[in-house]
Amino acid sequence: MTTAVAAPFRFFSLQVLRTRRLGPSLVRVTFGGPDLHAFHSDGRDQSLSLFLPHPGQPEPVVPLELGDGWWQGWRELPDDVRAVMRSYTLRALRRDPDEIDIDFALHGTEPGATVQAGPASRWAARAAAGDRVLLLGPAVADNRAIRFRPPEDTDLVVVWGDETAVPAASAIVEALPAGTRARVWLEVPHAGDIQDLATEADAEITWLVRDERGTAGSPMTLDALRAAHLPPAERPYVWIAGESGCVKELRRHFVRDRGVDRRRVTFVGYWRRGASEEQLRAEA
């Protein structure tokens, strides 16, 4: 007897279908392509690796002809040729027709910005129908790039995310089943970034809006969460994602100050102030 094992991840060649501004800091890019019939995901915080072209390139350069050797071949390409690789989250998957949404937090792209832009933020700010990208994403719905996994006995779900994790947190909250108790904090730069989220869960969602000069992971978040009253729970599950420094502080707060079992805290640094994703990958 043989057992068929499907490869959990593969490349998808996609094109931008349309874009929509969700607020001053967030743009939704909708992608399509014939490959998407093979894209399967259980959603939640499904992470993806996106490969983007440099300005002037018609498509991202990844040596897919090398098969399993693509990674080594990609790393050996010159910096200004090799596609830019960045981590993003699946915000939505639709069928008939096959489409996926990715929400990009823009940073440093507005005139007079005080924070540094990166290639992905710049790409998203200018994205237009027809632009081509490659995606390394799931072909199997339940895969290890989904990290939100509350244990079955969870009696309270706690979520925090900054603007880079708003897409993941939103998909998580929308997927929570009826009857789940959840307390959710979402931090965004501008009041215009606040979105309506539909959920069947008993979820209390608090939007934290930074002032004009504030930066992600500001003390505002820590103060708000330290002061927050959480309903009594014996087996809470905590999910935290966003700027690394803030994620670390919040994890410490939940484990040390609130006594949450560290095994019931999922925490992911989505970016770090002052470091590009290449630099973070090199450190790892």
Ligand X SMILES: Cc1cc2nc3c(=O)[nH]c(=O)nc-3n(C[C@H](O)[C@H](O)[C@H](O)COP(=O)(O)OP(=O)(O)OC[C@H]3O[C@@H](n4cnc5c(N)ncnc54)[C@H](O)[C@@H]3O)c2cc1C
Answer yes or no whether residue 239 interacts with ligand X by CB under 6 A: no
- Of 177-236, binders to ligand X (CB under 6 A) are 216
Answer yes or no whether residue 43 interacts with ligand X by CB under 6 A: no
At its nearest, how many Å lie between ligand X and the CB of residue 190? 13
Report DSSP letters for 15-32, one per residue.
Answer: EEEEEEEEETTEEEEEEE
Residue 36 or 268 with smaller CB distance to ligand X: 268
> How many other C-beta atoms lie within 10 A of the C-beta of residue 175?
16
**Which residue's CB atom is positioned nearest to ligand X?**
118
Q: How far apart are CA 46 and CA 137, in angstroms?
A: 9
Q: How far apart are CA 3 and CA 72, in angstroms?
A: 30
Within 13 Å and on the Cβ side, how many CA atoms surround 44?
16
Q: How far apart are CA 284 and CA 280, in angstroms?
A: 6
Beta strand residue intervals within the chain, DSSP E = 9-23, 26-32, 47-52, 84-89, 92-94, 99-105, 132-138, 156-161, 181-188, 202-209, 236-243, 265-271
Q: Which residue of 27, 83, 93, 120 would you call a contact of ligand X, by CB under 6 A?
A: 120
Q: Which residue of 23, 33, 167, 236 would you call a contact of ligand X, by CB under 6 A?
A: 167
Q: How far apart are CA 101 and CA 67, in angstroms?
A: 27
**Residue count at the site for ligand X (CB under 6 A)?**
28
Answer yes or no whether residue 51 interacts with ligand X by CB under 6 A: no
- Neighbour-count burial for 160-174, b at 16+ CB within 10 Å, e otherwise: bbbbbbbbbbbbbbb
Per-position x/- string for 54-93, each x denoting binding to ligand X as judged by CB under 6 A, each - no binding: --------------------------------xxxx----
Q: Which residue of 103, 131, 187, 193 would you call a contact of ligand X, by CB under 6 A?
A: 103
Answer yes or no whether residue 31 interacts with ligand X by CB under 6 A: no
Q: Which residue of 116, 191, 204, 228 would you call a contact of ligand X, by CB under 6 A?
A: 116
Answer yes or no whether residue 105 interacts with ligand X by CB under 6 A: yes
At its nearest, how many Å lie between ligand X and the CB of residue 277? 4
Sign of CA dihedral 254, 260, 261, 264: negative
Q: How far apart are CA 223 and CA 30, in angstroms?
A: 36
Per-position x/- string for 141-160, each x denoting binding to ligand X as judged by CB under 6 A, each - no binding: --------------------
Residue 39 or 88 with smaller CB distance to ligand X: 88
Answer yes or no whether residue 277 interacts with ligand X by CB under 6 A: yes
Answer yes or no whether residue 164 interacts with ligand X by CB under 6 A: yes
Strands 181-188 and 156-161 come out as parallel
Q: Which residues bind ligand X (CB under 6 A)?
A: 47, 86-89, 103-105, 107, 115-116, 118-121, 163-164, 167, 216, 268, 270-277
